[in-house]
Amino acid sequence: MENWAVVVAGPPSNQLLLLNPSRNSAVIKLLPTPPPLLTHRTFLSPLPLKLQKQTPFASCCSCNGNGNALRVASPSSNVTTELADIDWDNLGFGFMSTDYMYIMKCSQGENFSKGELQRFGNIELSPSAGILNYGQGLFEGLKAYRKHDGNILLFRPEENALRLRMGAERMCMPSPTVEQFLEAVKVTVVANERWIPPPGKGSLYIRPLLMGSGAVLGVAPAPEYTFLIYVSPVGNYFKEGLAPINLIVETEMHRATRGGTGGVKTIGNYAAVLKAQSAAKAKGYSDVLYLDSVHKRYLEEVSSCNVFLVKGNVISTPAIKGTILPGITRKSIIDVALSQGFQVEERSVTVDELLDADEVFCTGTAVVVSPVGSITFLGKRVTYGIDGIGRVSQQLYSALTSLQMGLTEDKMDWIVELK
């Protein structure tokens, strides 16, 4: 278990101090200007330190260019955090600027090496950057939760690291190692600890980005790449919360095609759904459910989440065949359902089966589990249950969120504790 803390080396200061008492080490990072958010209120209490001789530190953070490090003389249990001034009871799913972001760069054909925390802010890109001209980019999404005892929890972050590497190979990009990804996430979360909602009030959404940042004119992989992480406190993705959402089946536009990039989390997948999604929301629907582009009768996924249907004791979900994103929440729900005695089938699922299901729900990092109250297909509306929240949906939602928030024992070994 990693123990990270962040302090300011005492007012006024332009130094960010990263502490890892479990490693008995720390790093001072010089900031370009004194951080106003940290000088106007106490972020974390400083710990007594003593300077030691030059000692290499983890590659995820640079010290100040000379390799000097510090050793910690006291444990992280002395560290206290004051939360950001937010209306936590009315937190929606929207972007909110926080304190720090993480950036790491490398050139084409090379490996990522060192990264660093920077004050959150705009980044500079060439107008000819690969990400802007040819969409050479991927992103991930995961969450950090705060427990009542002050611990910070991450849910299966190594799965995000592995999925990013898989997507990077498809998009001809270098990628951070799993270890670099995990270390970068941990450092970024701890640096923004005051933005993690109180227990039960939401989570800290973590957004890693991998993009071709180098300038390129012809269609080709970019010469330089940037790995970036920023975070934002969030509440429910759908305004309904754990209330039923209403979906419409799209029959003309498609999210992905065979041989394309539907199976990786590339940025273009999401731009492609905006037109159908906007039209659906204008008609009062929550989102769109897409069909396969060949037969136009097999379920694929919703704009940003996977779909499941329940019939008796059998839970079915479309199989991963290159056009559907291999969701980490999807994978987790399958394992949880199996552990609870359900039969789970990953296969081709027709829209007719969907309309005949006992209940339907969606899964994703943002939504976790979202019950479906109705499906509209070719003008026909089918509703599920009395209130739209099926027994299985509720049961799986409770099981997974209790695990993510540290309320139940982690028998799956999915949780990473930061402190």
The residues assigned a catalytic role are 265
Contact predicate 209/118, CB 8 Å: no
Q: Tell me how far apart the alpha carbons of residues 125 and 212 are, in angstroms, rounded to a whole number.
A: 10
Bridge-based pairing state of the strands 115-119 and 100-107: antiparallel
User: Comparing C-alpha atoms, which of 205, 206, 194, 240 is closest to residue 40?
Assistant: 194
Q: 409 CB contacts (<8 Å, ≥6 apart)?
A: none
Maximum distance among all alpha carbons in the chain?
73
CA 347 to each of CA 83, 91, 261, 318, 337: distance values in angstroms, whole numbers, following the listed order:
45, 37, 20, 5, 16
Q: Where are the alpha helices (DSSP H) in 91-136?
A: 130-134
Instruction: Please name the helix (run of DSSP H) or strand (run of DSSP E) that holds residue 380, with its range, or none.
Output: strand 380-383
In terms of C-beta density within 10 A (0-12 exposed, 13-18 middle, 19 or more buried), how is residue 317 classed? buried
74: nearest Cα among 36, 17, 148, 124? 17
Q: How far is CA 195 from the centre of its chain?
A: 15
Q: Are 363 and 218 in contact (CB under 8 A)?
A: no
What is the residue type of 416?
A: V
List Cα–Cα distances, 127 to 133, 217, 266, 321, 390, in angstroms: 8, 10, 20, 35, 49
- Can you state the percent helix, strand and coil of the chain, rounding each to 5? 20, 30, 45
Q: Are 143 and 404 in contact (CB under 8 A)?
A: yes
Cα distance between the two ends of the chain: 7
The answer to whether the Cα torsion of 239, 244, 250, 255 is positive or negative is: positive
Our CA angle for 192, 185, 171, nearest 5°, is: 130
DSSP 3-state assignment of 275? helix
